[in-house]
Chain A
Amino acid sequence: MGKVKANAGPLARRPDNSAFKQQRLPAWSPMLTAQTVLPFFYGMATVCVLLGVWLLVTVQNTHELKVDYTHAGSCDKCFEKRKDRANANQSCNCTVVFNIENTFKGDVFFYYGLINFHQNLRQYMDSRDDGQMIGRNKNLKNPSSYCEPFMKDKNGLPIAPCGAVANSMFNDSFTLVYHSAASRQVVPLFRKGITWYTDKNVKFRNPQVENKTLTLAQVFEGTGQPLYWQKPVYDLDPWDRNNNGFINEDLIVWMREAAFPNFKKLYGVLNRAIEPFTEGLPAGNYSVDISYNFPVEYFQGRKEVVLSTVSWFGGQNNFLPIAYLVTGCLILLLAVILTAVWWKFAL
């Protein structure tokens, strides 16, 4: 009544003698012994402390200056003005003054910062159409329904660029002025080259049309501008015709949504070809002339201007160096404790 054998032979059903099937694969079985753990801890402590020191020195050599202009200086009146949406179409300019004590050496970056603006809300982030922004003609006139309620304007025209993200684009503009002893000099800023290469060249394209002679305005004909915008998308940069449409760099920067409600975005880079900015921003008095358009009062937000230099390690952020130092010390402490315990109990 035995089972029918698959193939003949007395040992036909004998399992293979392979290392895998017999669970005898050669293996390395490390143990957490004092000989491995303690040197590792001391090593890690050293590495962390050294890294922390090095990073700290690096970060200390960068400069950063933040100027909150929400209702600083003459901006107070603009702040009040923007409280009322009826004044949306009236322009408002103001100036903030500040002082740089030490020269900002090297490349200096000009950021605008927003506090408590939630670019990371799910519904907000979804409210955009990448297909439109990459220049798909289909999407240009027929944006994704994710853009609701910023899909069509009140005339029923499709909005380009559609969606809440584009609609809420930051639209203050700044002019940085250096007040040297002699004169008042506008600090030259590059307003291009402030985006990721991939965004500028792949992710955002103007709509492609067969007729190359058409102006951008004609290309965008039949679309409406976002509700809160003062200018249509093809007219965002009046000084540079190639910086208009979906490839406008301010737009691209804005469209890369921040992960946290407090963020800063690049506005311009110091043009170091012109004296006296070849070394960076010299110490002295500065002012920023602001075209104050973006209302922050609604969400109890704040706006600021940030000037910063960078190192290989990025902007000025003291967290990592300090964290490494603290971690290094903690590991050292732990290592000492472990050594003591080991000394007492195992030896």
Chain B
Amino acid sequence: MGSLLSQLGLECGGKDVREKERHLRANDRELNLSYKYADNAIKTSKYNIFTFLPLNLFEQFQRLANAYFLFLLCLQSIPEVSSLPWYTTVVPLVLVLSMTMAKDSSDDMNRHRCDKQVNNRKVEILIGGDLSLILLYLSLLLQADLLLLSSSEPLNLVYIETAELDGETNLKVKQALTVTGKLEDSIEKLANFNGEVRCEPPNNRLDKFTGTLTLNGETYSLDNERILLRGCTLRNTQWCFGLVVFGGPDTKLMQNCGRTTFKRTSIDRLMNVLVLNIFGFLMIMCLILAIGNGIWEYQEGSKFAAFLPKGVNAPFSAFLTFWSYVIILNTVVPISLYISVEIIRLGNSFYINWDRKMYYPKSDTPAEARTTTLNEELGQIKYIFSDKTGTLTQNIMTFNKCSINGKSYGEPWQKVDFSWNNLADPKFCFHDNSLVEEVREGNPEVQAFFRLLALCHTVMPEEKKEGELYYQAQSPDEGALVTAARNFGFVFRSRTPERITVVEMGELVTYELLAVLDFNNVRKRMSVIVRSPEGKLTLYCKGADTIIFERLNPSCSNLTEVTTEHLNEFAGEGLRTLALAYKDIDPEYMEDWKLRHHEANTAMDEREEKLDALYEEIEKGLQLLGSTAVEDKLQDGVPQTIEQLSKADIKIWVLTGDKQETAENIGYSCNMLRDEMNEVFIVLKHHSTWNSISLVFHEQSFITFLLPIPPHLTLPPPSLSTQAFALEKDMEMELLRTACMCQTVICCRVTPLQKAQVVELVKKYKQAVTLAVGDGANDVSMIKAAHIGVGISGQEGMQAVLSSDYSFAQFRYLQRLLLVHGRWSYLRMCKFLRYFFYKNFTFTFVHFWYGFFCGFSAQTVYDEWFITLYNLVYTALPVLSLSLLDQDVNDWWSFQYPQLYTPGQLNQYFSKRAFVYTVLHSGYSSLVLFFIPWAAMYDTVRDDGKEIVDYQSFALLAQTCLLIAVSIQLGLDTHYWTAVNQFFLWGSLSVYFAVIFTMYSNGMFLTLISSFPFIGTARNSLNQPNVWLTMLLTSILCVLPVVAYRFLRILLWPTINDKVRGRGSTHLSLVRQDKVLPPAPRRVQARRTSTRRSGYAFSHAQGYGDLVTSGKFLRRTPKSRPALFSQTDSPLAQTQPQSYRTISEWEEPPLSP
């Protein structure tokens, strides 16, 4: 089979010119290469070994802060201006640069690894003649957009699942051109195939493709039917050959992914604003001091010139002083701020990776913080946009209940034993024994019920071994129903276009299939007409209850009433219901009908309408059999999670590509929708629709958007549709206003791009933090658009996870991510910022005050080494330990009181206002920290009469006072004192004293005279009682007002945090030992009796029935093929019944054996 290559490697060429048309020829590598189309490799990494250093440095200096420090460094090299030696800037700068560099390099290494993994997925390429003919096997995820050439199936059909693209799990059919289909799997023919393809340039339209194929001089038109898109999965097809049309970034999926934008948190943005303000503030301070210097020089400095001739006039001196003060006061914009913020976020991301309570043992998946820069935003989420399939649900349907002939079955009683039925699916599980008894006793209605389920469907059976049946269903609903029938003794065994073979209670019965009246979204029902071996003609119909009930024989009215009651009950539980009915048909009428049917079928015009009328005619006077209730299984803990999140005042919008009914059903089953809510469901056709709908809203409303419907259609088209009318400019405000008034919002039939648009809309107008959670490729754009994207690593592949910021295996972990990790991250970040600004402002303001005493000469108050090390050594670790370990309340209380989450949404912990308070606080502290030592030392001497008010002693005193005061302040801010906090705090203070004694020692001075002039200062100062008494006084004056204020605040205006903390501390011992368990979360699944809602939902699309009857679908010989697909290939095979487990976040995930 030619050479097998693992890499689709072509030259990657830059596309300078916009492509107008794509042109390629099969098996002609040179021609194709000459166009320099993008190859299939996806590149996300930024550097290689050689470009790393220059590129990274260039990038880093583009950051304002780093560039600013470079500028400072330049200033410091001017001797007239330099008020601080070079090392005060270089040491932090080098440290920061190298740390960022280390982080960037490890990030890029990860990206390289990821790229390699994605790019090295194996496919087989035929290079016999050359290039891009690709052989695909069953269940393969497509990696490029292909032109389908030939396949293993009759008529060159290929079955694909597009879940990755649009979230729909039903199968779709693509067909190759007949002319290419003839190539089959003959290598020679394929190798000599030299068709030329001309087609549209890469674009993001999933539903459209135009192009031509020229082969042997003839031109064939190509449309979407011939194209297999990247992200589709091959189903029911052994192999197919394809020609690569678009690769890598050109594929429609990738084009649809939306731009990857660099995400910034709101704190980031606030920080940038603040930093700019601080710059302004810095300039003002410098200006004041420079003006002061000008005045001082004019009044006194000139007279002092005898002692200090400077040879500059007052204005020029003021100018120089301005820049000198820019250097000295630069600590208000500390370079270590950014690096510390990064470290804190990284640390908090690791906690997410490490969290056992977000680890899913079944798939061995821990949670993963893929982006490490967004943590605190997790504590501020206001809107959650959730996908449905695979995110809220498991995408598994189970046959849960049914109502047959007025009797409801399926109350959970005990598990039914199906061992009597040797064809039963062992994974199927049902809980009501009485139903089995009825079947085995031969209750005719019950038997008819299951016969209907075994006959009326479009499922394809596959029997690899005798008795081992696998069903390939177009929709999981249908699979569940047929499987149910199978287990209850009506085993659908095989089908041909004319026949359906069923094993009825052990007996082989073959029915003749006369007609399939297929399902579509208008009809909302499907019927089959079969002839039993006895020759009896019967129409079996299943469909939406409302539709079926309209077509019932009046004699069923009693039964209808009872069944309706049951249906309401089922619907109230969020089950998806279908009503079943049958009708015996008169053979003569049937003959006539068949004739007319054939006529209609071959009619040239108005075929659809004619067929519809015929169907309508025969599906009348039905006899009701009962109804089925299928559960679209929710993931564990979804209702509880949603309840918790809404208690935390987070709004959840469900955006799904699925149908309205299905989506609403899920809404009910996960408690987002309740019966007492008013339904406002809006079909957005075009502008006028808005005006015609008058909406009355109140709190208890929910809204379902059907987005969008092209104006010429009355109903949603079944495939991927486009055009976002509601998201047009003039409509979006309306949409948003309406949506925000409702308690619950569900948007149905949205395309991936529209999901992103909805998110963008909320982002744009609500100024709220949004989170998007999804699991499939169709969620990628929304995940990228939202402030935070969360990927559920479920069944729909890795696409969502790869573009997400956080990923984990179960939806329910979202509450831990937000309520615990998010809250803590936000709290920690805010505490950090407040404290960090406090300590730096305090530090800097003292310089400002000193300016008034030193003739505004830009003299520093502190030792230069202290200035260098203050942020990097003396205060770095304690504040880091605060911002990595602090918890105001522990995770248990966070779950008990989801309201604790709201301060984050309201930006309460760090805002401009909080920042102003911080500045005022540091202003007060700096006044204390400068003027108390000044007054205490003024005009005094040591206890031996010698000097103590010299500059060096005062510097030591001022810096020690400062360090002690900010350390105590840190202690006040710490709510959670671990050993690490203690160690770092005391350790840093000890290090400070160790360092000053070392730096002020004889040895250091004699080694480097000019750098360590403070020799002996520590020894001579710190043995003086008045120095220590001064430190004590400054500490008291700095701290006690804060303590008093906080005490009063807790007493008079306690926040929810204070209350919970208060409660927490009284139960502290208990909580810490995990003895208090939360009240077992009840399953919020109250029985509702709905009288107005239909539980009908059926994820099914039109167009399948034709295939069944035309025989296209049917394989040649089922047994001739090797068993290529294993059990796990079909989604149905995974239908493992799972009993519902109540989630207690407190308990460890159970170990799976």
Once the chains bind, are A29 and B853 in contact (CB under 8 Å)? no
Cβ–Cβ contact B941 & A310, under 8 A: yes
Mask: chain B, 601-620; 1 = CB below 8 Å from A; 0 = not = 00000000000000000000
- Report the bound CA distance from A125 to B951 in whole Å: 9
Question: Is the Cβ of A260 less than 8 Å from the Cβ of B940?
Answer: no
Docked complex Cα distance between A315 and B324 (Å): 35
* Residue A118 CB within 8 A of the other chain: yes
**Given A29-B1064, A323-B935: A199 and B944 within 8 A (CB)?**
no
Known contacts A1-B798, A41-B1044, A338-B1047: does B1015 contact A260 (CB below 8 Å)?
no
Cβ-defined contact, A199 with B1009, below 8 A: no
A276 interface contact, C-beta 8 A = no
Within 8 A of B (CB), among A1-20: 1-5, 10-17
Residue on B with the closest CB to A145? Answer: B79
Interface segment among A94-102, A190-198, A216-224, A277-285: the answer is: A190-198
Interface membership of A120, Cβ < 8 A: yes
Stretch at the interface among A72-80, A127-135, A240-248: A127-135
User: With an 8 A cutoff between CB atoms, is B936 at the interface?
Assistant: yes
Given contacts A109-B945, A120-B853, contact A32 B1046 (CB under 8 A): yes
CB of B954 within 8 A of CB of A26, answer no
Which of the 9-residue segments A152-160, A172-180, A339-347 touches chain B? A339-347
Give the docked Cα–Cα distance between A331 and B1047 (Å). Answer: 14
CB neighbours of A17 from chain B (8 A):
356
Is B1 in contact with chain A by the CB < 8 A criterion? no
**B991: CB under 8 A from chain A?**
no
- Per-residue interface assignment for chain A, residues 184 to 224, with 1 indicating a CB less than 8 Å from any chain B CB and 0 otherwise: 00000000001111110011000000000000000000000
Across the interface, which residues of B come within 8 angstroms of A29, CB to CB?
A: 975-977, 1061, 1064-1065, 1068
Let me know if B715 is at the binding interface, CB within 8 A: no
* A144 proximity list for chain B (CB < 8 A): 1010
> In the complex the two chains form, is B941's CB within 8 Å of A315's CB?
yes
A15 contacts B354, C-beta separation under 8 Å: yes
CB distance from A346 to the nearest CB of B (A): 6
Chain B window 880-911, contacts with chain A (Cβ cutoff 8 Å), 1 for yes, 0 for no: 00000101000100000000000000000000
Let me know if B187 is at the binding interface, CB within 8 A. no
- A236, CB-defined interface residue at 8 Å: no
How many Å lie between the Cα of A125 and that of B350 in the bound state?
49
B297-312 contact mask (Cβ, 8 Å, vs A): 1 or 0: 0001001101111100
**By the criterion CB–CB under 8 Å, are B943 and A13 in contact?**
no
Closest Cβ neighbor of B1032 among chain A residues:
A51
Asked if A167 is at the interface of the complex by the 8 Å CB criterion, the answer is yes
Q: Which of A48, A308, A313 contacts B1036 (CB 8 A)?
A: A48
Inter-chain contact A127/B859, CB cutoff 8 Å: no
Chain B residues lying within 8 Å of A41, measured Cβ to Cβ, are: 1040, 1043-1044
Q: Is the CB of A260 within 8 A of B859?
A: no
A interface residues, how many (CB within 8 angstroms): 102
- Interface assignment of A65: CB less than 8 Å from any CB of chain B: no
Nearest residue (CB) in B for A133 is B1009
The answer on a CB contact under 8 Å between A25 and B980 is yes
Q: Smallest CB–CB gap between A336 and chain B, Å? A: 12
Q: Is B942 positioned at the interface, with any CB of A under 8 Å from its CB?
A: yes
* Inter-subunit contact A122/B324 (CB<8 Å): yes
A105-120 interface bits toward B, Cβ cutoff 8 Å, 1 = contact, 0 = none = 0010101000010111
Docked pose: A257 CA to B1017 CA in angstroms: 13
From the candidates B366, B940, B955, B1052, name the one contacting A316 in the complex (CB within 8 A).
B940
Name the distance in Å between B906's Cβ and chain A's nearest Cβ.
23
Bound together, the chains give a CA A199 to CA B943 distance in angstroms of 17
CA of A33 to CA of B1020 in the docked complex: distance in angstroms? Answer: 41
User: Any chain B CB within 8 A of the CB of A287?
Assistant: no
Q: Whole-angstrom distance from the CB of A105 to the nearest CB of chain B? A: 14
Please give me the residue from chain B that is nearest to A19 by CB atom.
B978
A310 touching B859, Cβ below 8 Å: no
- Check if B1016 is an interface residue, CB within 8 A of chain A: yes
Tell me which residues from 307 to 329 in chain A have a Cβ below 8 Å from any Cβ of chain B. 308, 310-317, 319-320, 323-324, 327
Given contacts A12-B364, A202-B1015, contact A134 B304 (CB under 8 A): no
Among A149, A259, A263, A341, max chain B CB count under 10 A is at: A259
Determine the chain B residues whose CB is within 8 A of the CB of A26 once the complex forms: 978-979, 1072
**Shortest CB distance A136–B (Å):** 8
Residue in chain A with minimal CB distance to B858: A122
Chain B nearest CB, measured from A76 CB (Å): 20
B1051 touches A346 (CB 8 A): yes
Of the candidates A14, A30, A316, the one whose C-beta lies within 8 Å of that of B364 is A14
B83 at the interface (CB under 8 A from A): yes
Residue with the greatest number of chain A CB neighbours at <10 A, chosen from B361, B363, B1029:
B1029
Q: Are A338 and B859 in contact (CB under 8 A)?
A: no
A261 B853 Cβ-Cβ under 8 A: yes
Q: Are A25 and B1029 in contact (CB under 8 A)?
A: no
Q: Are B950 and A22 in contact (CB under 8 A)?
A: no
Chain A residues with Cβ below 8 Å from B1151 are 11
Out of A23, A122, A253, A295, which one reaches B859, CB within 8 Å? Answer: A122
Whether A5 contacts B308 in the complex (CB less than 8 A), given A29-B1068, A44-B1036, comes out as: no
Structural contact, A15 and B366, CB atoms closer than 8 A: yes
Indicate whether A300 reaches chain B with its CB closer than 8 angstroms.
Answer: yes
Q: Is the CB of B946 within 8 A of A195?
A: yes
Which residue of B is nearest A120, CB measured? B854
Q: Known: A15-B356, A256-B950. Contact between A25 and B885, CB under 8 A?
A: yes
Cβ–Cβ < 8 Å partners of B1051 in chain A: 34, 341-342, 345-346
- A32-B951 in contact (CB<8A): no
A342–chain B nearest beta-carbon distance, Å: 6
Min CB distance, B1131 to chain A, in Å?
Answer: 15
**In the complex, what distance in Å separates the CA atom of A11 from the CA atom of B1002?**
59
Q: Is B1002 touching A202 in the complex (CB atoms < 8 A)?
A: yes
**Is A27's beta carbon under 8 Å from chain B?**
yes
Interface centre among A31, A314, A315, by most chain B C-beta atoms within 10 angstroms, is A314
Within 8 Å by CB of A125, from B353, B859, B977, B1030, lies B859
- B1009 touching A28, Cβ below 8 Å: no
Asked if A22 contacts B355 (CB within 8 A), the reply is yes
Please judge, given known A-B contacts A109-B941, A314-B942, A323-B935, whether A121 and B854 are in contact too, CB under 8 Å: yes
A164 within 8 A of B: yes
A258 on interface, CB distance cutoff 8 Å: yes
A266 close to B947 (CB less than 8 A): yes
- Contact at B978–A257, with CB atoms within 8 Å? no
Nearest-Cβ distance from residue B99 to partner chain A, whole angstroms: 22
Q: How far is the CB of A5 from chain B (nearest CB, A)?
A: 7
The answer to whether B1024 has its CB under 8 Å from any CB of chain A is: yes
Whether A311 contacts B943 by the Cβ 8 Å rule is yes
A269: CB under 8 A from chain B? yes
Residues on the A chain within 8 Å of B1005, using CB: 202-203
Q: Which of B307, B824, B1019 contacts A164 (CB 8 A)?
A: B307
Cβ–Cβ contact B1029 & A55, under 8 A:
yes
Q: Which residue of A lies closest to B945 (CB)?
A: A109
User: Do residues B1016 and A121 form an inter-chain contact, with CB atoms below 8 A?
Assistant: no
Complex: how many Å from CA A178 to CA B938? Answer: 29
- Residue B1037 interfacial (CB < 8 Å): yes
Contact between A31 and B947 (Cβ–Cβ < 8 Å)?
Answer: no
B1026 CB-CB contact with A under 8 Å: yes
Tell me if A239 counts as interface (CB < 8 A to partner B): no
Q: Is the CB of B1009 within 8 A of A23?
A: no
Beta-carbon contact of B977 and A15 below 8 Å: no
On whether the beta carbons of B1052 and A341 are closer than 8 Å, the reply is yes
Q: Across the interface, do B940 and A121 meet the contact criterion of CB distance under 8 Å?
A: no
Complex CA–CA separation, A44 to B1039 (angstroms): 12
One digit per residue, 1 when the CB lies within 8 angstroms of any chain B CB and 0 when it does not, for chain A 273-312 equals 0000000000000000000000100111000000010111
Measured CB to CB, the closest approach of chain A to B8, in angstroms, equals 17
A37 at the interface (CB under 8 A from B): yes
B346 on interface, CB distance cutoff 8 Å: no
**Is B934 an interface residue, CB under 8 A from the partner?**
yes
Complex contact B1015–A258 (CB within 8 A): no
B354 engages A260 (CB within 8 Å): no
8 contacting pairs across A/B (C-beta < 8 A): A4-B117, A15-B355, A27-B976, A32-B1043, A119-B951, A130-B1013, A310-B944, A331-B1036
Rank and list the top 3 A-B pairs by shortest CB-CB distance, nearest first: A198-B1016, A259-B954, A21-B354
